[in-house]
Chains A and B, each alone.
Chain A
Amino acid sequence: MLEIKNLSFGFGGRKVLEDVNFTIDEGESVLIAGKNGAGKTTLLRCLNGIFNNYEGQILLNNKKIEAKDRYSFGYLPSSLSFYDKMKIGESIDFHKSIYPYFSLITFPDYKLETNRRIEELSKGEKVLFYLILVLSHNPSYFFIDDILHLLDPYLRETFLNILIERMEEKKLSVIISSQTFSDIEGLPVKLIILDKGKIILKESVETLKRAFFKVTAKKIPEDLPVIYKKDWGDFEEGYLYPYERKKSEDLKMESVKLSEIIKSIIGGNYVKKRD
């Protein structure tokens, strides 16, 4: 279990993360969402040893995390930071020398050309190669920072299937920070929304979906908990949270997608109320 306790971090006199608390269980997947600059990348960097000067604690199985514990971590940064001048074969060897349980996996319809340099790969190919590398060292926690959109839809789906398989079979925990949610809709079980470095929402997607509704009406009644509203002239469209649907309701209510939940939370009254 990965436990993040009272995590705060900042640089240059600016607080980027403030009192962040959450846990990630074995086989659990977490989606970290938030506006640009909310602190998502910084949070993943703290978890992956790039930033160490944080306050609070990061505990792995109740012990303070150390560099050697990151053998069980896999990290795919949005910067796609890597030794670009290395050939694919060299980087596989390099990874092998670091991770003792490295066993190269294959990806359907993709053949690794070991003599190609990483700098010669397209961005999508680089992401794919990085994914192969990370999954090959068999991590228990896989952190993905807003990069999956660079894969084509087919590869994205293939990759997510592999992830789901690993979550089920090997109890892999996946922590994804993303701004595009359509493909990973079926994946996350927990949603964490950051705003200005603070967690403003931490809830399972299932619970959220049960309490989240989209309402369309000429005029949305003022007593409803509308957190995000759009006025189209002829009618209004609003997102309700938290809301318990009643059988006798005559309003037009719809269930909402994960992407709509996130959009309405980070862009609507939910955030404003907290400011």
Chain B
Amino acid sequence: MLKKEIKDTIGELLIILLLIIGLSFLALIKGVEFYIIPLLELILLLYPVFSGWSIFSREKKENSFEYLFSLPIGKNSILINKLIPRIVSVLLVLVIYLPLREYFASDFFFDKNIFIILYLLLFILSFSFSLLFNNIAMVLASITFFGMFMILIDMKVWKLLWYSDIYILIIIVALSFPIVFIYSFIKDDILPIKLFNRKFLTRSIITFIIVLVGLTVFIKLSGMNNYNYYMLTKNGKIIISDVKSLKVVDAETGKTILSIDYKVFPIVYKDDLLYGETEEKDKSKLISINLKTKEIKNIHEAEKYSFFSNPHINDNGITFLVREGGDYKSILIINKDKIRKIDFPKGAISGGVFLFKLISESPLCFIYTKYNNKTYKYENGKTEHFFTGDIKFYKNRMVLCDKSSFKVYERGNSEPVFAKNEGGHIFLKWFERPYEKRFMVVKLTSGVYIFDFETLDLHKINLKFKKDNSVVTGSFVDKTIIAIWNNNTPYITVMVYKKGRLISKKGYKSSFKKDKYIYLSRKGMMVIKWMKKYEFIKF
């Protein structure tokens, strides 16, 4: 039986592998990959749909259910024998394709994890509908309908913030279909199929509703959809936003300094100004709130559901990227009261941007890094990939660190001003991204160092850093503070360095064990438990 199923599967597998090979070769042609890779990805997403749906397509087409079930094979074995080759082939295609994605690192439709989740989800859903629908178009339509319905549920009922949460919950809901299918398949008689499908559909709908209601109650009770955004300013103020209102608290005393009932998603602060995003009926707005005077100012308006992302702060002010309709459309440059907007030329920037640095406004030149660690440079009307690895900016200097080297470049100089022929990793937390800090921590092959962007000194420090540790640095005028913690323990080690020399090292205990991250100020640290709670620990 297994042999027959392998034979039934192998033909489809060969076709999809040939397609991957063929389209990958096509994608090697420069300029063509822009279209080919998303096309390949879409075709690949059809494969698990087909593979899942085809599990009983032969029996339906050739009217062979009666023969199949009369064989001396139990229903469990039938299902296992049919599933194994299909699961293996679906995973094989995925395993072959993922390194290719990394290699091309093109502008894909989906993020890697989303692609994997979607790919597997399509398989389990289409497998569940394999007896229900006679043609694959119906399977695709029902999966699309399911996806749209879940998006609607999230938008209107769940209102979750994190994609990861949404995916996990959608997976839980979607899993109800294969579970009900397997249960029905083993428990019920398959013939007549109409009766089987009627029972399966009734059970699925009931289970789907129960799971949906259960998860909704769970979300509401656990406060999973209540989030707080925390920021710690250098002068010891904690900014707390639950999106509906904003509060500023003195970190040391815990007293509320300011409270505003205003719907704002905080993005970044500079001096006493907090920049955030708010939404009105038909538009999205970037606003600033003066934390001393409560004054709210409109900075920029864009079409509804736009994002003001990738803030970058340096001596010239703050730059934001404006994302409208899924694409980065323009750069906003805010310097004191002056606001300038530069539209991106078509095709200059695409995909999810992790870091953005505007080099010059005229002629337009900028550097951006994607989440896959590939950095691109736009200059003279062209976007070119120029580096893969970690990158960090400070004023007119830029450090590039990959597996084999650590180099510092200065604007206008093609030769590095500092270079070390060993590679490593720069620690950069997502919430640190906006700020250019003078000091940074880098882990190279020979050890952990503090690098001073001003003096170009690389000081080795005696720091044992394990793989699952997290680190954050606070770069102040006279000192560098480094906090290291492990997410499985409540302990945090804080070290203070002056000019590369360790002046203090102390251990602290947090109330939070898992899911924590840390903001540093001169006088203490704010430990945040995954957007839910915070505590301030004085040094």
A-contact bits for B53-74, CB 8 A (1 contact / 0 none): 0000010001111111111111
Tell me the smallest distance from the CB of A225 to a CB of chain B, in Å.
41
Interface locus among A75-83, A149-157, A238-246: A75-83
Interface check B191, CB cutoff 8 A: yes
Known contacts A11-B192, A53-B188, A53-B189; is-contact A77 B67 (Cβ 8 Å): yes
Determine the residue in chain A with the shortest Cβ distance to B62. A84
Query: Which B residues are in CB contact (< 8 Å) with A15?
Result: none
Tell me the smallest distance from the CB of A212 to a CB of chain B, in Å.
35
Query: Which B residues are in CB contact (< 8 Å) with A99?
Result: 72
Q: Of residues 45 to 93 in B, which have CB atoms within 8 Å of A's CB atoms?
A: 58, 62-75, 77
Question: Are B72 and A81 in touch, CB under 8 angstroms?
Answer: no
Question: Are A75 and B70 in touch, CB under 8 angstroms?
Answer: yes
Query: Which A residues are in CB contact (< 8 Å) with B192?
Result: 11
Which residue in A52, A66, A69, A70 is a CB contact (below 8 Å) of B189?
A52
Interface check B195, CB cutoff 8 A: yes
Interface check A64, CB cutoff 8 A: no
Query: Which A residues are in CB contact (< 8 Å) with B77?
Result: 67
Q: Measured between alpha carbons, how far is A222 from B64 in the docked complex, in Å? A: 53
Known contacts A82-B64, A84-B62; is-contact A70 B72 (Cβ 8 Å): yes
Q: Measured between alpha carbons, how far is A73 from B70 in the docked complex, in Å? A: 9
Question: Are A79 and B63 in touch, CB under 8 angstroms?
Answer: yes
Question: Are B72 and A51 in touch, CB under 8 angstroms?
Answer: no
Question: Are B72 and A77 in touch, CB under 8 angstroms?
Answer: no
Question: Are B1 and A97 in touch, CB under 8 angstroms?
Answer: yes
A-contact bits for B184-214, CB 8 A (1 contact / 0 none): 0001110110010000000000000000000
In this complex, how many residues of chain A approach chain B with their Cβ under 8 Å: the count is 29
Interface check A221, CB cutoff 8 A: no
Tell me the smallest distance from the CB of A231 to a CB of chain B, in Å.
42
Tell me the smallest distance from the CB of A73 to a CB of chain B, in Å.
7
Known contacts A11-B195, A85-B58; is-contact A50 B74 (Cβ 8 Å): no
Question: Are B191 and A82 in touch, CB under 8 angstroms?
Answer: no
Main secondary structure of the interface of A (DSSP, over half): loop
Interface check B4, CB cutoff 8 A: yes
Which residue in A11, A68, A70 is a CB contact (below 8 Å) of B70?
A70
Query: Which B residues are in CB contact (< 8 Å) with A85?
Result: 58, 62
Query: Which B residues are in CB contact (< 8 Å) with A12?
Result: 195
Question: Are B74 and A83 in touch, CB under 8 angstroms?
Answer: no
Interface check A159, CB cutoff 8 A: no
Query: Which A residues are in CB contact (< 8 Å) with B464?
Result: none
Query: Which B residues are in CB contact (< 8 Å) with A81?
Result: 63-68
Interface check A216, CB cutoff 8 A: no
Q: Of residues 44 to 80 in A, which have CB atoms within 8 Å of B's CB atoms?
A: 45, 48-53, 66-71, 73, 75, 77, 79
Q: Measured between alpha carbons, how far is A12 from B197 in the docked complex, in Å? A: 12
Q: Measured between alpha carbons, how far is A50 from B64 in the docked complex, in Å? A: 11
Question: Are B4 and A94 in touch, CB under 8 angstroms?
Answer: yes
Question: Are B62 and A79 in touch, CB under 8 angstroms?
Answer: no
Known contacts A67-B72, A98-B73; is-contact A51 B191 (Cβ 8 Å): yes
B-contact bits for A23-63, CB 8 A (1 contact / 0 none): 00000000000000000000001001111110000000000
Known contacts A52-B189, A83-B62; is-contact A77 B70 (Cβ 8 Å): yes
Q: Measured between alpha carbons, how far is A153 from B49 in the docked complex, in Å? A: 49
Question: Are B72 and A71 in touch, CB under 8 angstroms?
Answer: yes
Tell me the smallest distance from the CB of B43 to a CB of chain A, in Å.
25
Question: Are A50 and B189 in touch, CB under 8 angstroms?
Answer: yes
Q: Measured between alpha carbons, how far is A228 from B204 in the docked complex, in Å? A: 52
Q: Measured between alpha carbons, how far is A45 from B68 in the docked complex, in Å? A: 12
Interface check B346, CB cutoff 8 A: no
Query: Which A residues are in CB contact (< 8 Å) with B65?
Result: 50, 81
Interface check B255, CB cutoff 8 A: no
B-contact bits for A1-19, CB 8 A (1 contact / 0 none): 0000000000110000000
Tell me the smallest distance from the CB of B169 to a CB of chain A, in Å.
34
Known contacts A11-B192, A12-B195, A66-B74; is-contact A45 B66 (Cβ 8 Å): yes
Determine the residue in chain B with the shortest Cβ distance to A54. B189
Interface check B3, CB cutoff 8 A: yes
Question: Are A69 and B195 in touch, CB under 8 angstroms?
Answer: no
Query: Which B residues are in CB contact (< 8 Å) with A67?
Result: 72-75, 77
Query: Which A residues are in CB contact (< 8 Å) with B63?
Result: 79, 81, 84
Query: Which A residues are in CB contact (< 8 Å) with B188?
Result: 53
Determine the residue in chain B with the shortest Cβ distance to A130. B67
Query: Which A residues are in CB contact (< 8 Å) with B73?
Result: 67, 98
Determine the residue in chain A with the shortest Cβ distance to B71. A98
Question: Are B66 and A69 in touch, CB under 8 angstroms?
Answer: no
Question: Are A97 and B70 in touch, CB under 8 angstroms?
Answer: no
Question: Are A70 and B195 in touch, CB under 8 angstroms?
Answer: no
Question: Are B58 and A83 in touch, CB under 8 angstroms?
Answer: yes
Question: Are B1 and A73 in touch, CB under 8 angstroms?
Answer: no
Tell me the smallest distance from the CB of A193 to a CB of chain B, in Å.
24
Q: Measured between alpha carbons, how far is A11 from B191 in the docked complex, in Å? A: 10
7 A-B residue pairs with CB within 8 Å: A75-B70, A81-B65, A81-B67, A82-B62, A83-B62, A97-B3, A98-B73
Given contacts A70-B71, A73-B70, 7 further A-B contacts (CB under 8 A): A50-B189, A69-B72, A77-B66, A82-B62, A83-B58, A84-B63, A97-B4
- Chain A residues within CB distance 8 Å of chain B: 11-12, 45, 48-53, 66-71, 73, 75, 77, 79, 81-85, 94, 97-99, 119
Closest A-B pairs by Cβ, 5 of them: A81-B66, A67-B74, A70-B72, A81-B67, A71-B72
